[in-house]
């Protein structure tokens, strides 16, 4: 059975959006049906306008549909992407996640495959803490974390066992082939696990 995968991301200046498209490509290559969705912007217009890269990315991605709770309910696997903010998930992605209380209360977020990816400016700026914070939430969902691990050689060259990450170096280091390859691997791996879960009865 082909998995249904929702790639739900937030990106201010495009790095995480680039990873999201590569994750989606990997899931599609593994046979999944994919929805690529962005979390709604919550920052004030003045803040966005003060940063040309942010303003430009907002214009460039205005046609990407905004994520809704239905995208999670539809999916067998959900892959979240967020820039690192103070070593943590962005407010924008968290606002979307926090809107899922009604679905959480009904157990509708459980038993799906979940994974995450991030971009941070600096090498040790909190990539791993961001992904682990995201995975704390997945535990509350009753979801199943599908991390890349070291299950592909790309993890030794780029990527991490927690999820794909990128070092943007304040916009000086655009996404490279290795990060894209790690992201594609992650998308494919989640799609394969999600396909197994889609047909499974996890009632105990
Ligand atoms: C408020 C704020 C907090 C940030 N915190 C961190 C951080 O803790 N560590 C880090 O390396 N980069 C940090 N950054 C930089 C972003 O994580 C980085 O630029 C990222 O690549 C942006 O992704 P995007 O292009 O998808 O928006 C921060 C940026 C902002 C605006």
Best residue for ligand 1 mutational test, from 7, 83, 117 (most atoms within 8 Å of Cβ): 83
For residue 23, tell me if it sits in a domain: yes
Query: How does pLDDT run across 17-44, given as a tens digit for each residue?
Result: 999 999 999 999 999 999 999 999 999 9
pLDDT value, residue 158? 81
Which of ligand 1's atoms lies nearest the C-alpha of 11?
Answer: 26
pLDDT value, residue 157? 83
3-state SS string for the chain = CCCEEEEEECCCCCHHHHHHHHHHHHHHHCCCEEEEEECCCCCCHHHHHCCHHHHHHHHHCCCCCECCHHHHHHCCEEEEEEECECCECCHHHHHHHHCCHHHHHCCCCCCCEEEEEEEECCCCCCHHHHHHHHHHHHHHHCCEECCCCCCCCHHHHCCCCCCCEEECCCCCCCCCHHHHHHHHHHHHHHHHHHHHHHCCCCCC
Range of the domain at 192: 4-198
CATH classification at residue 164: 3.40.50.360
Interatomic CA distance for residues 57 and 78, integer angstroms: 23
The pLDDT of 141-156, averaged and rounded, is 94
For residue 204, tell me if it sits in a domain: no
pLDDT value, residue 174? 96
For residue 58, tell me if it sits in a domain: yes
The pLDDT of 78-88, averaged and rounded, is 98
Mean pLDDT of the chain: 97
Query: How does pLDDT run across 171-186, given as a tens digit for each residue?
Result: 999 999 999 999 999 9
pTM assigned to the model = 0.98
Torsion, Cα 194 39 12 14, to 10 degrees, reads 40
CA 127–ligand 1 middle distance (angstroms): 10
For residue 93, tell me if it sits in a domain: yes
At 65, the pLDDT band (50, 70, 90 cuts) reads very high
Which of ligand 1's atoms lies nearest the C-alpha of 120?
Answer: 17
CA 120–ligand 1 middle distance (angstroms): 5
For residue 61, tell me if it sits in a domain: yes
For residue 140, tell me if it sits in a domain: yes
List of residues 6+ apart from 154 with CB closer than 8 A = 178, 181, 182, 185
At 69, the pLDDT band (50, 70, 90 cuts) reads very high
pLDDT value, residue 199? 82
Total domains present in the chain: 1
For residue 158, tell me if it sits in a domain: yes
């Amino acid at each position: 059975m082909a998995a249904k995968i929702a790639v739900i991301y937030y990106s201010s200046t495009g790095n995480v959006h680039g990873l999201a498209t590569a994750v989606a490509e990997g899931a599609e290559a593994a046979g999944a049906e994919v929805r690529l969705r962005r979390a709604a912007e919550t920052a004030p217009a003045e803040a966005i306008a003060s940063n040309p890269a942010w303003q430009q990315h907002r214009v460039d991605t205005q046609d990407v549909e905004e994520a809704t709770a239905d995208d999670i309910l539809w999916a067998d696997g959900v892959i979240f992407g967020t820039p690192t903010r103070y070593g943590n998930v962005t407010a924008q992605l968290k606002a979307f996640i926090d809107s899922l209380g009604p679905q959480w209360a009904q157990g509708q977020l459980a038993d799906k495959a979940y994974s995450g990816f991030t971009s941070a400016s600096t090498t040790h700026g909190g990539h791993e803490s961001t992904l682990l914070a995201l995975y704390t939430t997945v535990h509350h969902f009753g979801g199943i974390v599908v991390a890349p691990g070291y299950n592909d050689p790309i993890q030794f060259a780029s990527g991490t066992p927690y999820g794909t990450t990128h070092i943007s170096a304040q916009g000086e280091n655009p996404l490279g082939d290795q990060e894209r390859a790690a992201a594609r691997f992650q998308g494919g791996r989640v799609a394969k696990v999600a396909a197994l879960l889609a047909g499974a009865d996890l009632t105990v």
